Amino acid sequence: MSIQTPPVLSQETQAMLDCLRQTVAKTLDRKRRLGQYAVLWSEGAPIAVGEDAPAQLAARKVSQD
């Protein structure tokens, strides 16, 4: 079994990643507050999360063990 260590990111790359994460979090929160659904990628397929999500993309219930 090999243990993988996370890559070391440059300071500039880390700043870009942090900015992207913050932007995504703000956008998802805004969509939630507006009552809009969001499309995410989960388990190799797109899913829609939210009350008005299309039925064919609606999120599957995932059991948490």
Q: Using CA of residue 38, residue 40, residue 45, residue 47, what is the dihedral sign? A: negative
Q: Which pLDDT score, from 0 to 100, does residue 21 have? A: 97
Whether the CB-CB separation of 45 and 60 falls below 8 Å is answered with no
With vertex at residue 19, the alpha carbon angle to CA 14 and CA 25, rounded to the nearest 5 degrees, is 125
Q: What is the mean pLDDT of residues 55-62?
A: 68
Task: Decide which of 59 and 32 is more confident.
Answer: 32
State the Cα–Cα distance between residues 33 and 16, nearest whole angstrom.
26
Q: How far is CA 27 from the centre of its chain?
A: 11
Model pTM above 0.85: no
Q: Which pLDDT score, from 0 to 100, does residue 16 have? A: 97
- Per the prediction, the chain carries an average pLDDT of 85
The answer, yes or no, to whether residue 59 has pLDDT greater than 70, is: no
Identity of the amino acid at 1: M
